[in-house]
Amino acid sequence: MTDNSAYRIEPHVPPIDDYMRLRLESGLTPFSREAAEKGLPNSIFGVSLMHGNETVGMGRIIGDGGCFFQVTDIAILPAHQGRGLAKWIMAALSDFIATLPKTAYVSLIADVPANRLYSQFGFNETAPRSVGMARVLKPH
């Protein structure tokens, strides 16, 4: 049994330096600092996974506060992966989702194989009836 007693979830978005580092080191496409400075304060909800004083994971919910929400930025530093900690993050986000209006539409784009994580928290693939589409303005 994995001992995760050194970890804890805190109910806040990571500070910007940690956010930038987590995206980079977990292999997610990094955003510019300017973009992150603008975007993070507009989060609806976020969590930080802490190991002592170090932020080692995160998850965020963005949206309009009433109708549409999106789960973003699910990431754990490589050295801390595979211990079930992403499930802690998703459980915390799910607790928050449970407080949303019952008609809320909560979506996400899953980078395979993370779809196996999200399917354990009630997220179902929408294809073929609807498919995720994305427009990237400019390669990062």
Q: Which residues bind to ligand COA, rule: CB under 6 A?
A: 26-28, 74-76, 81-87, 110-111, 113-114, 116-117
- Backbone angles phi and psi of 63, in degrees to 5: 155, -170
CB of residue 136 vs ligand COA: minimum separation in angstroms?
Answer: 15
Q: Min. distance of Cβ 3 from ligand COA in angstroms?
A: 14
Amino acid, single-letter form, for residue 82: G
- Closest contact distance (angstroms) between CB of 131 and ligand COA is 16
Instruction: Name the amino acid, one letter, at 5.
Output: S
Retrieve residue 100's tokens: 């949303």
How many other C-beta atoms are found inside a 10 Å radius of the C-beta of residue 53?
A: 5
- Could you tell me the two tokens for 2? 């994995």
Q: Between 89 and 100, whose beta carbon lies closer to ligand COA?
A: 89
Comparing CB distances to ligand COA, the nearer of 76 and 100 is 76
